[in-house]
Amino acid sequence: MRGYLDQVVSKYAKTGDIIICSDVDEIPSEETVQLLRDCTGFSNNMHLQLNMYLYSFEYFYSTDDSWRAHISIYDNNFHYRHGRLSDHLLADAGWHCSFCFRNISDFIFKMTSYSHNDRVMDEKLLLKEEIQKKICNGEDVYDMYPEVYSFRELVLKFGAIPKSKTMTNLPKHLMRNPTKFAFLLPNGCVREDYNQTISLKKV
């Protein structure tokens, strides 16, 4: 996949172009993109500090310190990479919304994918009712301890995530389309295909 990305980028990019390297759930803000367009002199392979949310923008999890999303200044030696490449970090650069899916079926697909299936220790974890309950409660869908590197982090991240009702500092496209993206906003935790399942049971 990364080799294919190298081919696509090299086909369209020009030397000096700024390439934002991130997963689809890692979203730079509009202001960050404009800043990168307007300014010069920043470091190549500068990382983007992203505010991390889980399931929706109702559950703020942490200031993402995973060092994955970054920008690269394109040249003939460009290779798409996803890891820590420098010590330079642009603060408050956007959002990382993990497991922010519209449907329960998408949760199940990710949970059983090659890179995550070792976390499913009990088939009960894949029940729609179980997943839906955990989304609305801000609990870990795998029933696992958080991935942390200090006791302080464990204390901060252990247990259910408190709900946030704030509607500030969220992606502008989300705010302009609240009906379309209701599942990403406060009080929108019930997923669409779960609602459909309940309706069919009632019939």
Mean pLDDT, residues 98-105: 97
For the chain, give the percent of residues with pLDDT over 70: 85
Last residue in a domain, options 80, 98, 116: 98
83 shares a domain with 30? yes
Q: Do 7 and 24 fall within a single domain?
A: yes
Task: Answer whether residue 199 is part of any domain.
Answer: no
Is residue 47 domain-shared with residue 131, that is, in the same domain? no
Tell whether 198 is covered by a domain: no
* pLDDT, position 164: 85
The reported pLDDT for the residue numbered 132 is 97
Answer whether residue 191 is part of any domain.
no
- Token pair, residue 72, equals 């690269």
- Is the distance from CB of 105 to CB of 37 less than 8 angstroms? no
Same domain, 88 and 7: yes
Q: Would you tell me how many other CB atoms lie within 10 Å of the CB of residue 99?
A: 19
Is residue 170 within 8 A of residue 186, CB to CB? The reply is no
Domain boundary among 81, 98, 115: 98
**pLDDT recorded at residue 156:** 57
1 and 93 assigned to the same domain: yes
Domain count across the chain: 2
What pLDDT is recorded for position 79?
Answer: 87
pTM of the model: 0.85
Mean pLDDT throughout 6-31? Answer: 92
14 vs 84, higher pLDDT: 14
Residue 6's pLDDT band, with cuts at 50, 70 and 90, is confident
Confidence of residue 70 (pLDDT cuts 50, 70, 90): very high
- Tell me: do 54 and 84 sit in the same domain: yes
Higher pLDDT, 3 or 170: 170
Q: How confident is the model at residue 177 (pLDDT cuts 50, 70, 90)?
A: very high
Within-domain flag for 195? no
Q: Dump pLDDT digits (tens) for 106-144.
A: 999 999 986 767 778 889 999 999 999 999 999 999 987
21 found inside a domain:
yes
- Structural domain boundaries, residue 129: 104-184
Using CA atoms, how far apart are residues 103 and 194, in angstroms rounded to an integer?
A: 7
In a domain, 190, yes or no: no
Residue with tokens 């088939």: 123
Q: Are residues 92 and 109 in the same domain?
A: no
At 203 the pLDDT is 33
Task: Let me know if residue 192 belongs to a domain.
Answer: no
**Same domain, yes or no: 3 and 41:** yes
111 and 89 share a domain?
A: no
Q: How far apart are CA 98 and CA 57, in angstroms?
A: 10
How high does pLDDT run on average in the chain?
86
**Whether 89 and 18 share a structural domain:** yes
Q: Which residue has the tokens 């200044």?
A: 73
